[in-house]
Structures are given as structure tokens and as C-alpha cells.
């Protein structure tokens, strides 16, 4: 079986490709780095020839509202018709737990457009909603820092290791499409501030951290469990405290 991984050289994509190669299938990592560009359509017809499954784990290089909407809308306007013409039998896309509840955020509005386009495409699909990756803790600190203080929503988070996400994506690629959204997350639910403090302590960074019920998440208001799974079909086995002490080049 030929499987094409869009965004196949990124954090999730590269690990998904490696997992799938172990299963003995023909796997192609598709990205602008190797001549496949969903924004321009370059290389799509060629890479999709003979493909049965497409796994899309690509992401916008810019999270500015207009940029991210352009990325997901344009990419799927090119990718989905090309898949249909090639006879692709299963489209799998990685999205985010809570997307439908975070529509005040430009990023999540764009992800919702992507999901709606997939559902309307006529291609059998599986959409995977994952929680935030362990690797995103630093990014959350950056986007939540105001005047040197980290102000976080008073909410819960259930982060997952990227390698566990990749394992689930690879497993899903070998299964039949379910034509619905599946939720996955990490093994532990934290208060967001508690999780971020663990990250800061382990990485020897010094910030004041506070919770605020009115703080926004990626520009959107958030409730206690907005970004944790409601009905997870898979929970990663990797615990954050174990992962964060492993040297980065060995994860």
C-alpha cells in the first residue's frame, strides 16, 4: 500500500513516516523540501499517483489570522481534489482537541475550515483531534507572557508526547476510515499552570506564573476542560515527568 504523508518532514510527519516504514508499506514524505507544495499544487499529481492513503499533518508556518486561513484553505483546495482524482481511499488529518469550541481564535477558525472541507470532499476520512504536544510548552509560555509574567488560563490541559501522536497516526493509516473525528490525549490531566511550572523548572527558566480565569488561549476564551478530550479513543503512555528529563536529542 502506498501512503503519502503531507508535512512528512516535520515533527509529527517525520515520526509518522518512520513508524509506517516499519510496517513494510511504501511511504512517501511529501513537503516543499522535496518538491511537493500544497499551496501551489506543485508535485501533488505525481506524488499521489497510486496512493491509497494520505496522512496530512502539515501546519501553517505563520499563525497570523489571514496567513493561517490562507494556508489551510488553499492547501486543501489543492490537495483534496488531487486526492479524489488519484482515487485516494482514506484521508487522515491531524487537528486539535477543542477546535470547535475555540472559534474566537483565527487559528482554530482556519482548522475548522480545513475539517469542513475534508467532510465535504467525498473522500472517506478520519480526523484526529490531539491535545497539545509536550513540545509545545515553550510556545505556550511565549504566547502567554505579558511584561515578563506568564499569565495562563485557569484551565486544564492533557498534553501528549509527539511520538505517541505519530504512533496513533501511523496506526490509523493502516485502518479503515471512520468518517468522524477521534480524540486522543496524554495519560495525565494537569492544571495548565502546574504543567508549565514543571516545564520551566526542568528547563531552568525563571518566570512568575499565574492563572487568570479571563486569560485567553490562542486568542480565545477557554473553560476548564475546553482543550482536554471528552471521549478519548487513545491515551499516550509517555508521562511528562519522564519525558522532560530525557535529553532533547534522545527523545
Task: Give residue-wise pLDDT tens across range 213-229.
Answer: 999 999 999 999 999 99
Beta pairing class for 149-153 and 208-212: parallel
Q: What is the pLDDT of residues 238-248, one digit of tens each?
A: 999 999 987 77
Q: Can you say how many angstroms the Cα of residue 226 is from the centroid of all Cα atoms in its chain?
A: 16
Beta pairing class for 149-153 and 156-157: unpaired
In DSSP terms, 220 is beta-bridged to 217
CATH of domain 2-250: 3.40.50.720
What mean pLDDT is reported for the chain? 95
Which whole number is the average pLDDT over 184-207? 94
pTM: 0.95
- Which strand ranges, in their side-by-side order, compose the sheet holding 53-56? 26-30, 2-6, 53-56, 90-96, 125-130, 181-185, 232-235
Q: What is the distance between the alpha carbons of residues 122 and 80, in angstroms, rounded to a whole number?
A: 9
Amino acid at each position: 500500500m502506498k501512503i503519502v504523508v503531507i508535512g512528512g518532514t516535520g515533527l509529527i510527519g517525520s515520526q509518522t513516516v518512520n513508524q509506517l516504514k516499519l510496517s513494510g508499506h511504501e511511504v512517501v514524505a511529501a513537503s516543499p523540501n522535496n518538491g511537493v507544495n500544497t499551496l501551489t499544487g506543485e508535485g501533488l499529481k505525481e506524488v499521489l499517483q497510486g496512493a491509497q492513503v494520505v496522512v496530512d499533518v502539515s501546519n501553517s508556518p505563520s499563525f497570523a489570522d489571514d496567513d493561517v486561513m490562507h494556508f489551510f484553505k488553499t492547501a486543501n483546495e489543492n490537495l483534496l481534489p488531487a486526492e479524489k482524482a488519484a482515487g485516494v481511499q482514506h484521508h487522515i488529518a491531524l487537528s486539535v482537541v477543542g477546535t470547535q469550541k475555540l472559534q474566537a481564535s483565527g487559528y482554530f477558525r482556519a482548522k475548522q475550515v480545513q475539517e469542513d472541507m475534508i467532510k465535504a470532499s467525498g473522500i472517506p476520512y478520519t480526523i484526529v483531534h490531539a491535545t497539545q504536544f509536550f513540545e509545545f510548552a515553550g510556545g505556550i509560555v511565549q504566547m502567554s507572557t505579558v511584561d515578563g509574567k506568564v499569565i495562563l488560563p485557569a484551565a486544564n490541559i492533557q498534553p501528549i508526547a509527539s511520538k505517541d501522536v505519530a504512533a496513533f497516526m501511523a496506526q490509523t493509516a493502516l485502518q479503515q476510515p471512520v468518517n468522524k473525528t477521534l480524540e486522543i490525549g496524554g495519560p495525565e490531566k494537569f492544571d495548565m499552570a502546574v504543567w508549565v511550572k514543571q516545564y520551566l523548572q526542568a528547563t531552568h527558566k525563571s518566570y512568575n506564573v499565574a492563572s487568570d480565569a479571563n486569560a485567553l488561549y490562542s486568542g480565545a476564551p477557554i473553560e476548564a476542560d475546553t482543550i482536554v478530550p471528552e471521549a478519548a479513543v487513545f491515551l499516550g503512555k509517555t508521562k511528562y515527568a519522564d519525558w522532560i528529563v530525557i535529553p532533547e536529542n534522545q527523545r
